[in-house]
Structure 1
Amino acid sequence: MQLTGSFKVRGAYYKISQLTEEERKNGVIACSAGNHAQGVALAASRNGIKSLICVPDGAPISKVEASKRYGAEVVLVPGVYDDAYNRARELQKETGSTFIHPFDDLDVIAGQGTIGLELLDQLPEIDCVIVPIGGGGLISGIAFAIKSLNPRCKVYGVQAAGAPSMYRSHQEHGPLALDSVSTVADGIAVKRPGELTYELCEQYVDEIVTVTDDEISTAILALIEQQKLIAEGAGAVSVAAAMFDKVDIKGKNAVCLVSGGNIDVTILSRVISRGLLKTGRSAELTIELVDKPGQLKGVSDIIASLGGNVVAVHHDRADENMDINSCFLHIVMETRDQNHIAEICSALKNAGYRFKLR
């Protein structure tokens, strides 16, 4: 609900507000997968300061273009966040600009921590808060604010299973770097947490858990359908953790922090498809049939009689693994849930069909 579509504007704006006149003249530089870039771009332009942002070349186009609209000069860097970070540091030395770190900076952390103050102000009976973690700036600020004012409130962190840098660091009791990261939650795909943020997490965060890309996709779909909210992967991990019982919130006043909504529309369509499969709202069957008239009707009659809706059909006669007079029938159908899928599969099996369910 923030102007730039994520919490990042808070930390960037506070950091830039603290610059000296000399630092303002030299401009600012940052690296980001997208959301921090927009925050820095907006804060810099509002303060009449020049900004340059290094962005991984795989970042969603929507985030890159938004950063340009907010007034930043954008440099695309091959690789992931950490590669963009290294390039930004090189350019910072060349230009003398002030580097605005996306998470490992006390002013940035303080800016993000204002969310913790607002939570306690608006929800004084809160028992726990679930917070997404990338580099750790958001949860560090929130955890410090909440634990300082209400120590009994639990603070849980969530990372994508494909980018568990803070999770692993927490287990190993020291900041460590991952060799690679891969997740639909591009906003938290960070190989190494910050030094400051790691120390703050060790001191103030109660537990860190991970969620899979399928679980994240399911959470994004649930937010769209039930809350009318568009969340990006990084923003939805907190909801995924609650939905899939990764943390103990039963009977508690719990807050899931949805930290960003800047999801690329091309990714959104794929995420919705994954979410539908995960929740049993969609299913794909491959059925082995004798290649003769009426076979499709027999299958579709069973599915229709049980309330399934066939949305795609493909006959495959060329598979080398099938008998010469057979075919594979690939069907995509809309269903209610996993129990509904099981009911259809049971009926097909009882009717003598051989099939595989994706």
Structure 2
Amino acid sequence: MPSIFREESIALAILRLIEVEKSVIEGAGAVGLAAVIEGLLPELKNKKVVIALCGGNIDTTILGRAIERGLAVDGRLVRFVVTVSDRPGGIAELAKLLSSNGASIKDMFHERAWLKSDVFSVQVKVVAETRDQEHADEIHTVLKANYKQVAWGPRYF
């Protein structure tokens, strides 16, 4: 039987439990909170609710993946592709722009070979950490204001 929960909601539930409750709960034990996050229990809205949390038997590798996925769902881990000048300092300017706007670069990769624009450009793929979804939206706006080609989101990797 397929799960009615999205993996993203379970990951976000695990992340929230770690951050707010300081509790490490495996995915199966976090589905109660995931159901609330997913909005599957509208009858509980504005009511005091107790959610049973169980199962701390989560593999550390899976925990790391769940945390990263939860951060991405929460808008605190973003990825995008920007086309910048391939002249000296082009990538450094992008890094400075992100830093000056409060984003932390987690990963950066650039490639030239498959770019369809001029030979003086380079495509930079970035994974960055932000404070929240609002901050991620601000970073997206700043990038669009400074660069002609910005592809935002996971489908561009």
TM-score range, shorter chain: 0.7 to 0.9
Task: Give unpaired runs (5+ residues) of structure 1.
Answer: 1-161, 165-209
Whether 2:2 is the aligned partner of 1:163: answer yes
Per-residue displacement from partner, 1:179-233 (whole Å, max 9, x unpaired)?
xxxxxxxxxxxxxxxxxxxxxxxxxxxxxxx320011001001101111111111
What is the TM-score when the length of structure 2 is the normalising length?
Answer: 0.87
Distance in 1, Cα, partners of 2:128 & 2:115: 26
Distance in 2, Cα, partners of 1:298 & 1:356: 18
Distance in 1, Cα, partners of 2:80 & 2:6: 24
Instruction: Report if the CA contact (8 A) 1:310-1:332 is conserved.
Output: yes
User: Aligned runs of 1:56-71 on 2, under 5 Å?
Assistant: none
Partner of 1:350: 145
**Which amino acid in the other structure matches residue 241 of structure 1?**
A
Per-residue displacement from partner, 1:23-82 (whole Å, max 9, x unpaired)?
xxxxxxxxxxxxxxxxxxxxxxxxxxxxxxxxxxxxxxxxxxxxxxxxxxxxxxxxxxxx
Instruction: Report if the CA contact (8 A) 1:302-1:344 is conserved.
Output: no
What is the TM-score when the length of structure 1 is the normalising length?
Answer: 0.40
Distance in 2, Cα, partners of 1:302 & 1:326: 18
Partner of 2:17: 223
**Which amino acid in the other structure matches residue 243 of structure 1?**
I
Whether 2:118 is the aligned partner of 1:335: answer no
Whether 2:130 is the aligned partner of 1:291: answer no
Per-residue displacement from partner, 1:262-294 (whole Å, max 9, x unpaired)?
111111111111111000111112111231112
Query: Larger relative contact order (C-alpha < 8 A, sep ≥ 6)?
Result: 2
Give the aligned length. 152
Distance in 2, Cα, partners of 1:357 & 1:222: 25
Identity fraction in percent = 36
Instruction: Report if the CA contact (8 A) 2:84-2:147 is conserved.
Output: no
**Which amino acid in the other structure matches residue 263 of structure 1?**
I
Pairwise CA distance, 1:311:
2.2
Whether 2:118 is the aligned partner of 1:279: answer no
Whether 2:149 is the aligned partner of 1:310: answer no
Distance in 1, Cα, partners of 2:138 & 2:96: 14
Distance in 2, Cα, partners of 1:276 & 1:333: 11
**Which amino acid in the other structure matches residue 10 of structure 2?**
I
Q: Highest Rg: 1 or 2?
A: 1
